Chains A and B, each alone.
Chain A
């Protein structure tokens, strides 16, 4: 089974600070995704990547950057964190294509004070 890990699992940041959330997958999937989950909104796509060196904007990219330095790693970067970015963030990976299953990590709970 695909293994997706995220770090840190919990993070408290200050407004205006920089936050980096990391994701690693060990199943050699081409596609990786970053979502945030908020009550009443479900899962919303922030950024995604279809291979090393590529990043694409999802539905809510404002205030976020992404980096895919390798097949295994995909980071989400908040350059200037705001309280509205307090959320649970999930990373996922998949083989790609319209039919592909996504494998999710355990999530990172981010609180911005």
Chain B
């Protein structure tokens, strides 16, 4: 079973709208989270990390982590066509600090 599960698989939002992506870790050994973004034809690139309970805001991007449920979300406000990409949630932990588990990704389409 996938240890890091993402939803939805695909999401379409209008330009200027809010996009919300979800991620849950099923293994308490993996409790630190990163969000990565991958544009078509490129390698993934880190967007932001979140390691503590609560919200973390970076520009138009806000991540929220609930450590009790190991659920993390990413909210993109004022979505732009350039935000159209594949978004990965990645989890790591202290047990094996070198290993990172990626989810299957959410395809975000921002419609002009």
Residues of A within 8 A of B (CB): 4, 31, 33, 35, 40-45, 48, 50, 56, 58, 90, 92, 96-107
Name the one of A45, A105, A106 contacting B99, with C-beta atoms under 8 angstroms: A45
Q: Which residues does B use to contact A, with CB under 8 Å?
A: 32, 34, 36, 42-46, 49, 51, 88, 90, 92-94, 97-105
Smallest Cβ-Cβ distance to B43: which chain A residue: A104
Chain A residues lying within 8 Å of B99, measured Cβ to Cβ, are 45, 48, 58
Determine how close the nearest CB of chain A comes to the CB of B82; give it in whole angstroms: 19
**Contact B92 A106, beta carbon cutoff 8 Å:** no
Excluding A40-B104, A99-B92, 5 further A-B contacts by CB distance (< 8 Å) are A42-B102, A45-B99, A56-B98, A102-B90, A104-B43
A41-B104, A42-B102, A45-B99 known; A99-B49 Cβ under 8 A:
yes
A44: chain B residues within 8 A (beta carbon): 102
